[in-house]
Amino acid sequence: MENLNKNDNKTIDKSKIKLDFKDSKYATGKRKRSIAKVWVKKGSGNIYVNGIKMIDYFKRPVHQIIVTRPLEISKVLNSYDVKCKVKGGGLSGQAGAIIHGLSRALVIHEENLKKGLKKEKLITRNSRVVERKKYGHRKARRSFQFSKR
């Protein structure tokens, strides 16, 4: 009988890459429910998220622009290699956590980049999180439909 496994024809190689970040600076970034561990070192501008290239991890161009924003503001886009480990939350929260961690790591690596990054409010943690649902309500603030009778 014929083998019905259709995945044999498609071999997509998204294997995790081992990276050497021994002489690097480390910082942690947070946003919503996401936490990012970020390592930065001098290099050629490669960005890896969870062992995968950033372009493969974040498919939407908006997220790709967001992640590279601290490097573009400080004008060092092609002079640092970045390695990130992100967990929790969704893709937007993860991108925000990477921005925060990357900005902090750049400041640790080069103190003179702090002025430009602080002006764009990338070093400060964005403390907005989802408000919890209250009892007697449908959502955090939305009530059930009122019925007169």
pLDDT tens per residue across span 8-43: 444 445 556 666 777 788 999 999 999 999 999 888
**Is the per-residue pLDDT at 57 higher than 60?**
yes
Query: pLDDT category, 77, cuts 50, 70, 90?
Result: confident
Q: Is the pTM of this model over 0.75?
A: yes
**Residue listed under structure tokens 């886009």:** 77
pLDDT tens per residue across span 117-134: 899 998 998 889 999 999
CA–CA gap between residue 38 and residue 56 (Å, rounded) = 18
Taking the alpha carbons at both ends of the chain, their separation in whole angstroms is 66
